[in-house]
């Protein structure tokens, strides 16, 4: 007879998750120490929330008192579309082509949690999708879903790195996974070599302040730093370069989640349209989209910079 953990994994697969791991809520001591060092080096930039209550990020029992188990899941979001290289358009990061992943992953996690509670009335828990103070990638590594690549994204041997991570904290004991995935990056430096701004300052360490994704999404300044603005490489929202060049993404497979398909079949946006967009048009166009994160002002700022720079990066 399958264990409860095995049954949970089977149910998670039925709901649509590609990978699932179950581990105990033991503190992430080494990972917590690395996070502290990263914060002390100022690599989080203006993301002040990263520095709040860092102890919660390494010990989920502080996030959910009584938590005993962590279920970690991975959801594939790769779709068979490519970016359009057009100087009149700005590229959108692949993760934001479709519906907001927070909504999609959370819906699936809530469905799984409801099933767990129905199977075990003593079970209770909390679903976490990116916004909770959880070290999602570290938990995914501990749960055996994959390894942390030199670009700091989780890589799986089965489907590459185009995945979203979610988790469920539970107040019950389960049967735990103990196997982890060996780091298969080896001597490869493709992601470090390809990053146009040198944001991957050393293997496994990203300085957000140099990152195109951080600048175009999280930075709230009226203008982008010159060293980033001159090297946007056509990116309007986010950046996929380090994942595009990763050899492990030769194993990418098309997701069966239709909500991740590009809205209006667009993988990029006309820059002039963005610059002329009204607030009402913005709200309507990006309702339930991850692109809301950068707000209209940030999107227009990014479009303005792209319009000022030709494809070669010369002002």
- Give pLDDT, residue 283: 96
Angle at the Cα of 99 (from 249 to 149), degrees rounded to 5?
25
Residue 315 has pLDDT above 60, yes or no: no
In whole angstroms, what is the distance from residue 148 CA to residue 41 CA?
20
In whole angstroms, what is the distance from residue 8 CA to residue 125 CA?
14
Query: Could you tell me if 302 and 216 are in contact, meaning their C-beta atoms sit under 8 angstroms apart?
Result: yes
Average pLDDT estimate for 234-246: 98
Average pLDDT estimate for 266-277: 96
In whole angstroms, what is the distance from residue 235 CA to residue 9 CA?
37
Lowest mean pLDDT: which of 131-135, 237-241, 255-259?
131-135
First to last CA, the chain: 66
Average pLDDT estimate for 118-139: 93
pLDDT digits (tens, 9 = 90+) for 173-223: 999 999 999 999 999 999 999 999 999 999 999 999 999 999 999 999 999
In whole angstroms, what is the distance from residue 165 CA to residue 233 CA?
27
What single DSSP character describes residue 73? Answer: E
Q: Could you tell me the pLDDT band of residue 314, with boundaries at 50, 70 and 90?
A: very low
Which sequence positions are flagged as catalytic?
130
Secondary structure class of 99 (helix, strand, coil): coil
The tokens for 150 are 């030199």
- Give pLDDT, residue 310: 55
Strand partners, 270: 89
- Give pLDDT, residue 312: 40
Of 52, 75, 54, 57, nearest to 162 (Cα)? 75
Q: Which residue ranges form the domains of the chain, and what is each CATH number?
A: 4-80+98-170 (3.40.109), 190-251+259-308 (no CATH)
In whole angstroms, what is the distance from residue 87 CA to residue 90 CA?
7
- Give pLDDT, residue 220: 94
SS (H, E, C) 269-293: EEHHHHHCCCHHHHHHHCCCCHHHH
Residue 309 has pLDDT above 90, yes or no: no
Lowest mean pLDDT: which of 52-66, 88-102, 113-127, 152-166?
52-66
pLDDT digits (tens, 9 = 90+) for 51-82: 887 888 889 999 999 999 999 999 999 999 99
Please state, as a whole number, how many other Cβ atoms lie within 10 Å of the Cβ of residue 153: 20
Rg of the chain in Å (alpha carbons): 20
- Give pLDDT, residue 57: 85
Mean pLDDT of all residues belonging to the chain: 95
- Give pLDDT, residue 109: 98
CA atoms within 13 A on the CB side of 88: 3
Average pLDDT estimate for 285-305: 96
Secondary structure class of 313 (helix, strand, coil): coil
Secondary structure class of 9 (helix, strand, coil): helix
For residue 203, the Cα-to-chain-centroid distance in whole angstroms is 18
- Give pLDDT, residue 133: 85
């Amino acid at each position: 007879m399958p264990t409860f953990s095995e049954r949970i994994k089977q149910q998670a697969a039925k709901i649509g998750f590609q990978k699932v791991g179950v581990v105990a809520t033991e503190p992430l001591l080494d990972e917590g120490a690395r996070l502290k060092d990263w914060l002390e080096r100022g690599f989080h930039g203006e993301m002040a929330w990263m520095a709040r209550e860092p102890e919660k990020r390494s010990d989920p029992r502080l996030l959910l008192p009584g938590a005993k188990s962590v279920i970690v899941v991975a959801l594939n979001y790769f779709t068979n579309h490519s970016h359009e290289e057009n100087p009149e358009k700005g590229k959108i990061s692949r993760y934001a082509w479709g519906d907001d992943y927070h909504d999609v992953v959370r819906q699936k996690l809530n469905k799984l949690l409801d099933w767990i509670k129905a199977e075990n009335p003593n079970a209770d828990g909390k679903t976490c999708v990116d916004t909770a103070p959880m070290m999602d990638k570290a938990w995914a590594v501990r749960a055996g879903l994959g390894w942390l690549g030199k670009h700091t994204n989780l890589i799986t041997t089965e489907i590459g790195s185009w995945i979203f991570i979610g988790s469920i904290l539970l107040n019950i004991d389960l049967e735990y996974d103990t196997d982890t995935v060996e780091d298969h990056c080896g001597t490869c430096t493709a992601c470090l070599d390809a990053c146009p701004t040198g944001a991957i300052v050393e293997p496994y360490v990203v300085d957000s302040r140099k990152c195109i994704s951080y600048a175009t999404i999280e930075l709230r300044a009226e203008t982008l730093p010159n060293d980033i603005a001159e090297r946007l490489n056509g990116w309007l929202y986010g950046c996929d370069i380090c994942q595009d060049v990763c050899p492990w993404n030769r194993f990418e497979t098309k997701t069966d989640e239709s909500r991740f398909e590009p809205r209006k079949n667009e993988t990029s946006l006309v820059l002039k349209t963005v610059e002329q967009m009204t607030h009402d048009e913005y709200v309507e166009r990006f309702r339930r989209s991850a692109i809301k994160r950068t707000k209209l002002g940030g999107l227009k700022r990014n479009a303005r910079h792209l319009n000022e720079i030709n494809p070669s990066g010369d002002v």
